[in-house]
């Protein structure tokens, strides 16, 4: 039984391997065919999307040019024979498709431009209304504040607590006069604007009658001139940027030079102060020299006077004699000091001996 079970398992395993091998070979044969079909499907989908876009474009063109033909095409029962007869006529060439596409693009551009203009006008109107509302709100707030200040608080009687009617009437009359003046001012402004509009319309009508209305060529010329002016503006902007950079560098250099100038100015002020002090010192020294020279002159005069009084230079003592006498005087003063010291010592010894003798006498008694 065990041998038969093992044989059965072996046979089943071999059959499974064979069936798996067969499926693998079949998949290998089918896979290339599936890839080709997938590629063809993608191409057909892309072509279908392109045809759908063309159909939408042609339907838009027919809806704009001939809506009746488009309504007949939408009816499945009407015009079947005519469709079959004119199917060849409705086949468009690439050039015709290109022209239709260009017309639709131009139409879309015009619609976009018209929508943009309408949106701009609507936006301007809304902005004007918002500004008018803001101005009106500000005016109402101002009027409410003035009414509260002048009537609710200012016109109230402190004793009775009631509002004075005269002040209310006067306030309303002032407001009416102010509004009337504003209305008159706006009416005059409106009249002026209408006059200006009439003048501009007359000038435009006169130009149209004289044949000065701009044509397509004039617009092309204006576009060319506008492009030239834009290029010149770009060049001027580039030049302006370069000049700004140069100005920035110049300003930096100027600031550096200003700092150096401030330092040099401070140093110059210090040097001026130092020079002034030196001049004062020189002036003082000069005065001192003059004073010394004057004293020298006086001393010389006094010296000459003394020489005349003493009878000449022969009776005057010599310098060496003076030095010798001065040295001798110094030695004598030194000897005097020594002798004075010795005397002091002797007196001290005398007093000590006298005290001892006194003690001896006292002991003998």
pLDDT in tens, 246-292: 888 888 888 888 888 888 888 888 999 888 888 888 888 888 888 88
pLDDT of 284-310, one tens digit each?
Answer: 888 888 888 888 888 888 888 877 776
Residue 83: predicted pLDDT: 47
Residue 207: predicted pLDDT: 72
Residue 31: predicted pLDDT: 62
Residue 1: predicted pLDDT: 30
Residue 3: predicted pLDDT: 35
pLDDT of 175 > 50? The answer is yes
Residue 346: predicted pLDDT: 85
Residue 11: predicted pLDDT: 57
Mean pLDDT of 26-31: 54
Q: Tell me the Ramachandran region of residue 312: left when phi exceeds 0, alpha when psi lies from -120 to 50, beta otherwise.
A: left
Confidence of residue 99 (pLDDT cuts 50, 70, 90): confident
CA distance linking residue 239 with residue 233, whole number of Å: 10
pLDDT of 111 > 50? The answer is yes
pLDDT of 116 > 70? The answer is yes
pLDDT of 88 > 50? The answer is no
CA distance linking residue 40 with residue 33, whole number of Å: 11
pLDDT of 295-348, one tens digit each?
Answer: 888 888 888 887 777 655 555 566 777 788 888 888 888 888 888 888 888 888
Residue 128: predicted pLDDT: 86
Task: Report the Cα 12 to chain-centroid distance in Å.
Answer: 86
b (16+ CB within 10 A) / e for 38-73? eeeeeeeeeeeeeeeeeeebbeebbeeeeeeebeee
Q: What is the DSSP code (8-state) at residue 336?
A: H
Tell me the pLDDT of the chain averaged across its residues: 77
CA distance linking residue 254 with residue 303, whole number of Å: 70
- In terms of pLDDT, which residue wins out, 169 or 77? 169
Neighbouring-strand partners of residue 255: none
Name the range with the highest mean pLDDT among 8-22, 132-146, 197-211.
132-146
Model confidence pTM above 0.85: no
Residue 67: predicted pLDDT: 67
One-letter-per-residue 3-state SS of 259-322: HHHHHHHHHHHHHHHHHHHHHHHHHHHHHHHHHHHHHHHHHHHHHHHHHHHHCCCCCCCCHHHH
Give the up-direction half-sphere exposure of residue 178: CA atoms within 13 A in the CB hemisphere: 8
**143 contact partners, CB below 8 Å, separation of at least 6:** 175
Residue 311: predicted pLDDT: 59
Confidence of residue 217 (pLDDT cuts 50, 70, 90): low
């Amino acid at each position: 039984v065990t041998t038969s079970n093992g044989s059965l398992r072996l046979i089943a395993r071999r059959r499974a391997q064979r069936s798996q091998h067969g499926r693998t070979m079949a998949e290998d044969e089918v896979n290339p065919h599936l890839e080709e079909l997938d590629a063809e499907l993608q191409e057909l989908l892309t072509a279908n999307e392109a045809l759908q876009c063309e159909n939408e474009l042609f339907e838009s063109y027919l809806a704009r040019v001939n809506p009746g033909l488009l309504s007949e095409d939408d009816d499945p029962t009407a015009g079947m024979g005519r469709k079959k007869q004119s199917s060849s006529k409705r086949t468009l060439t690439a050039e015709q498709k290109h022209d239709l596409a260009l017309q639709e693009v131009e139409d879309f551009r015009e619609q976009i431009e018209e929508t943009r203009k309408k949106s701009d006008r609507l936006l301007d109107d809304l902005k004007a209304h918002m500004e008018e509302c803001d101005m009106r709100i500000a005016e109402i707030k101002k009027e409410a504040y003035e009414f509260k200040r002048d009537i609710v608080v200012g016109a109230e009687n402190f004793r009775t607590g009631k509002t004075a009617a005269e002040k209310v009437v006067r306030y309303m009359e002032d407001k009416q006069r102010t509004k009337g003046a504003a209305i008159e001012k706006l009416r005059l402004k409106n009249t002026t604007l209408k006059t200006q509009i009439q003048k501009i319309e007359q000038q435009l009508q006169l130009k149209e009658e004289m044949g000065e209305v701009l044509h397509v060529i004039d617009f092309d010329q204006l576009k060319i001139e506008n492009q030239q002016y834009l290029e010149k503006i770009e060049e001027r902007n580039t030049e302006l940027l370069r000049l700004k950079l140069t100005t920035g560098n110049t300003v930096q250099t100027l600031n550096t030079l200003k700092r150096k100038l401030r330092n040099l100015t401070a140093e110059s002020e210090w040097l001026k102060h130092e020079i002034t002090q030196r001049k004062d010192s020189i002036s003082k020294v000069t005065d001192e020299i003059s004073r010394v020279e004057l004293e020298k002159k006086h001393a010389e005069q006094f010296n000459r006077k003394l020489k005349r009084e003493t009878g000449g230079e022969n009776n005057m003592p010599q310098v060496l004699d003076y030095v010798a006498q001065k040295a001798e005087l110094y030695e004598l003063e030194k000897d005097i000091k020594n002798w004075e010291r010795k005397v002091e010592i002797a007196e001290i010894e005398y007093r000590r001996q006298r005290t001892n003798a006194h003690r001896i006498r006292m002991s003998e008694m």
